[in-house]
Amino acid sequence: MITWQRLIPSVLILLLAACSPRPEVHTERLLAFGTVVELSIYTHDRELVREAARVVGEDLDYMHRAWHAWEPGPLGRTNQLLATGAEFSANPSVLPLILEGQRLEADSDGLFNPALGALFALWGFHGDEREEHAPPDEAEIRALLETRPSMADIRVDGIRMRSDNPAVRLDLGGFAKGYGVDRAVERLKELGIEHAILNAGGDLRAIGRPGNRPWRIGIRHPDSEGVLASLELAGDESVYTSGDYERHFIYAGERFHHILDPRTGRPAREARSVTVIHRDGARADAAATALFVAGPARFAEIAARLGIEQAMLVDPQGAVLMTPAMAERIRFEQQPAPPVILVEPAR
């Protein structure tokens, strides 16, 4: 039989146990991977957040140096060796990304092509600061595209590799951030962190949930700093957006952005932004770029080829094209809501 003498100590122990600090979302900002990184963790341990931010910052900076497209480092050395045509041993920090890049280029039917680093350099996007000078001549762009650099030109045999095409120059910027954020989130999990968002320059992966509610994410409007739409995340998902408002320059009143169409060598013009949700951050990152280049005409086909079920495209007129699975999760935050066209991914 339960007596007061036994019950009261148990109640007191339970009440005192509740006196530990309440878990909250704590956020740390840092500069890493060449951008602003925001780490939000749901915990009562603020010191853990600082330590996690320090560890993640170091990891991301290491990856950024290894995969930098125009500064000396493992990727720069790889590009030098690929240009010789001779066989060499791949750098272990670069090899997994080359294999992933080959898969992504093939799955996107060439609309995402990390071998076109020379094209980005020609447009002046290889640099922290782009002076506002004229875009490259059409003849220069044509000449470069005629060399047809492709990830398929890289022959990989174990850790040995060579390129059949000296024009191949790797620029992993289209998916390295996604790959890096995925690695950093794995590191967070190793630190025992179960509920967090890692946002690197606007692209993010979320794990767990903050208490008994999901994470709430705002998606930026391509025309302003405001929020176009929102969605909720719970579990383990990545959200990546490619937009024409990111890296760009204006010349003679015309805006030239950094999402280049491998078919024309010029900025893709059939979209303003594309948002993708997927478990794999590298694939989500690349898919946002590929679907931007694909535009509304090939949106469904490229989404299906890449295995993307949740994607949204804002076209130049402000209309929204999205998959039914994305539409179930998107809530527009601006009134009136834009016109929406639903498109099922299909080859």
Instruction: Report the residue number, 161 or 217, with the smaller CB distance to other proteins.
Output: 217
Cα 197 to its chain centre, rounded Å, is 14
- How many residues does the structure list for the chain? 347
Given 197, 271, 303, 313, the residue binding other proteins (CB under 8 A): 197
Given the rule CB under 8 A, which of 29-37, 100-108, 148-156, 158-166 is the region that contacts other proteins?
A: 29-37
- What separation in angstroms does the CA of 41 have from each of 31, 177, 195, 233? 17, 20, 6, 14
Given the rule CB under 8 A, which of 77-85, 236-244, 298-306, 313-321 is the region that contacts other proteins?
A: 236-244
- Minimum Å distance from CB 213 to other proteins? 10
Q: Are 290 and 302 in contact (CB under 8 A)?
A: yes
Q: Cβ neighbours of residue 221 under 8 Å, at least 6 residues apart?
A: 227, 228, 334
Does residue 227 touch other proteins according to CB under 8 A? yes
Q: In what order do the strands lie in the sheet with 160-163?
A: 88-89, 160-163, 154-157
Q: Cβ neighbours of residue 248 under 8 Å, at least 6 residues apart?
A: 255, 256, 257, 258
Does residue 24 touch other proteins according to CB under 8 A? yes
Going by their DSSP bridges, the two strands 340-342 and 320-322 should be labelled as: parallel
Instruction: Report the residue number, 38 or 109, with the smaller CB distance to other proteins.
Output: 38
| x-marked contacts with other proteins along 244-273 as a string, rule CB under 8 A | -xx---------------------------
- Cα distance between residue 77 and residue 196, in whole Å: 35
Instruction: Report the residue number, 88 or 245, with the smaller CB distance to other proteins.
Output: 245
Cα 243 to its chain centre, rounded Å, is 12
| x-marked contacts with other proteins along 113-132 as a string, rule CB under 8 A | ---------------xx-xx
Residues between 126 and 185 with contacts to other proteins, criterion CB under 8 A: 128-129, 131-132
State the sign of the Cα–Cα–Cα–Cα dihedral 235, 196, 92, 201.
positive
Alpha helices in the chain (DSSP H): 4-17, 46-66, 74-84, 95-107, 117-122, 138-146, 176-190, 281-306, 324-327
The string of DSSP codes covering 239-272 is EEEEETTSSEEEETTEEEES-B-TTTSSB--S-S
Please name every residue paired with 237 in a beta bridge, in sequence order, or none if there are none: 206
Does residue 2 touch other proteins according to CB under 8 A? no
| x-marked contacts with other proteins along 308-347 as a string, rule CB under 8 A | ----------------------------------------
Given the rule CB under 8 A, which of 13-21, 71-79, 107-115, 174-182 is the region that contacts other proteins?
A: 13-21
Given 52, 239, 282, 343, the residue binding other proteins (CB under 8 A): 239
- Minimum Å distance from CB 20 to other proteins? 7
Q: What angle do CA 9, 11, 14 make, to 5 degrees?
A: 110
Given 102, 163, 275, 289, the residue binding other proteins (CB under 8 A): 275
| x-marked contacts with other proteins along 42-81 as a string, rule CB under 8 A | ---------------xx--x--------------------
- Cα distance between residue 238 and residue 288, in whole Å: 12
Given 75, 115, 206, 291, the residue binding other proteins (CB under 8 A): 206
- Minimum Å distance from CB 149 to other proteins? 28
Does residue 302 touch other proteins according to CB under 8 A? no
Q: Token match 């969605």: residue?
A: 231
Q: What residues make contact with other proteins under the rule CB under 8 A?
A: 4-5, 8, 12, 15-16, 18-22, 24-27, 29-32, 34-36, 38, 40, 57-58, 61, 128-129, 131-132, 197, 199, 202-204, 206, 210, 215-220, 227, 230, 239-241, 243, 245-246, 275
